[in-house]
């Protein structure tokens, strides 16, 4: 296993995500994915916010690829550069063990073909030095592909962001190839603790919606004492009844300044 600093990783930054699902669309275009997307975009809590977050295979390094470790058919290959591949469809027995083992809920199951599919970091592209499809098309760099140094140079690090690749699920620690971008105070992402804090949405007070922080009631301009210019409404035509025919004016229907 090469040290993680020397290889290119993915940096997932939900704060930059606009939920456009370009990555989802582009993933399908990769020759290894063939019309099926291996990345997910979720709206966290649409009622409260437009926040969204990408989920893609994190390519676990320690423990190395739990999905591959639990595979009874040795169908999941981990290549020497640390990329965890999707199941070899000739070996996969469709037992779904990998789905249970994956800490991030990544594997997809092809019901018709009876085999598991997941992100293989666009191996056909990344092994040739190109970026994976999702990171290449991402319009916001919410998915960034490069070395740690390249990520720092891109500037996000200077604004108090820090990538984290250590996750806790209770006492289980998982270190991954890919990073999630958090704030500079964070050393690791403790998912179980976060889940406790969020109390599964059961808390009485929902978080204040940022959307209405600066909003207030309104009155019309006259009441507010604001000078206004009354402009006569110019409907294109009275609705009913249909107007009497008007002959075309020889000087042109609209003066020079009227419609440019």
Region label for 225, one of left (φ > 0), alpha (ψ between -120 and 50) or beta (otherwise): left
Region label for 144, one of left (φ > 0), alpha (ψ between -120 and 50) or beta (otherwise): beta
127 binds other proteins (CB under 8 A): no
Query: Do 85 and 121 meet the contact criterion of CB atoms below 8 Å apart?
Result: no
Q: Minimum Å distance from CB 232 to other proteins? A: 9
147 binds other proteins (CB under 8 A): no
Size of the site for other proteins (CB under 8 A): 89
Q: Minimum Å distance from CB 8 to other proteins? A: 15
* Sequence-ordered list of residues with C-beta below 8 angstroms from that of 236, at least 6 positions apart, any chain: none
Q: Which of 36, 184, 187, 196 binds other proteins (CB under 8 A)?
A: 36
111 binds other proteins (CB under 8 A): no
105 binds other proteins (CB under 8 A): no
Strand, helix or coil for residue 178: strand
Q: Which of 95, 137, 188, 189 binds other proteins (CB under 8 A)?
A: 137
1 binds other proteins (CB under 8 A): no
Q: Minimum Å distance from CB 74 to other proteins? A: 23
CA distances from 144 to 127, 149, 184, 260 (A): 17, 12, 18, 45
Distance from C-alpha of 149 to C-alpha of 151, rounded to nearest angstrom: 5
Closest CA to 61 of 109, 107, 5, 108: 5
Distance from C-alpha of 174 to C-alpha of 167, rounded to nearest angstrom: 5
Site for other proteins in 156-195 (CB under 8 A): 156, 158-159
Q: x/- site string to other proteins, residues 7 to 26, per CB under 8 A?
A: --------xx-xxxxx-xxx
90 binds other proteins (CB under 8 A): no
Q: Which of 51, 77, 166, 191 binds other proteins (CB under 8 A)?
A: 51
* Sequence-ordered list of residues with C-beta below 8 angstroms from that of 113, at least 6 positions apart, any chain: 89
69 binds other proteins (CB under 8 A): no
Q: What is the dihedral of CA 84, 90, 91, 96, to 10 degrees?
A: 70
152 binds other proteins (CB under 8 A): no
For other proteins, the closer of residues 149 and 205 by Cβ is: 205
Quick one: which segment of 29-37, 73-81, 99-107, 169-177 binds other proteins (CB under 8 A)?
29-37
Site for other proteins in 198-257 (CB under 8 A): 200-202, 204-206, 209-221, 223-231, 233-237, 239, 242-243, 245-248, 252-254, 256-257
């Amino acid at each position: 296993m090469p040290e993680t600093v020397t290889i290119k990783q993915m940096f997932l930054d939900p704060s930059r995500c606009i939920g456009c699902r370009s990555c989802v669309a582009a993933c399908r275009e990769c020759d290894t994915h063939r019309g099926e997307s291996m990345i997910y975009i979720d709206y966290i809590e649409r009622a409260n916010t437009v926040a969204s977050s990408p989920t893609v295979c994190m390519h676990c390094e320690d423990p190395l690829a739990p999905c591959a470790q639990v595979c009874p058919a040795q169908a999941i290959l981990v290549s020497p550069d640390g990329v965890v591949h999707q199941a070899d469809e000739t070996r996969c027995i469709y037992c779904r063990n990998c789905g249970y083992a994956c800490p991030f809920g990544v594997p997809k199951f092809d019901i018709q073909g009876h085999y598991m599919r997941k992100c293989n970091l666009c191996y056909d592209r990344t092994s040739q030095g190109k970026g994976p499809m999702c990171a290449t098309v991402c319009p916001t760099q919410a998915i960034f592909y490069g070395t740690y140094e390249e990520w720092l140079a891109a500037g996000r690090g200077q604004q108090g962001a820090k990538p984290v690749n250590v996750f806790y699920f209770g006492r289980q620690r998982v270190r991954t190839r890919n990073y999630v971008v958090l704030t500079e105070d964070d050393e690791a992402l403790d998912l179980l603790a976060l889940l406790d804090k969020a109390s599964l949405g059961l808390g009485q007070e929902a978080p204040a919606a940022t959307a209405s922080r600066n909003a207030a009631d309104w009155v019309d301009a006259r009441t507010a004492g604001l000078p206004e210019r009354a402009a006569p409404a110019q409907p294109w035509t009275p609705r009913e009844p249909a107007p009497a025919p008007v002959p075309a004016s020889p000087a042109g229907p609209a003066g020079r300044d009227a419609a440019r």
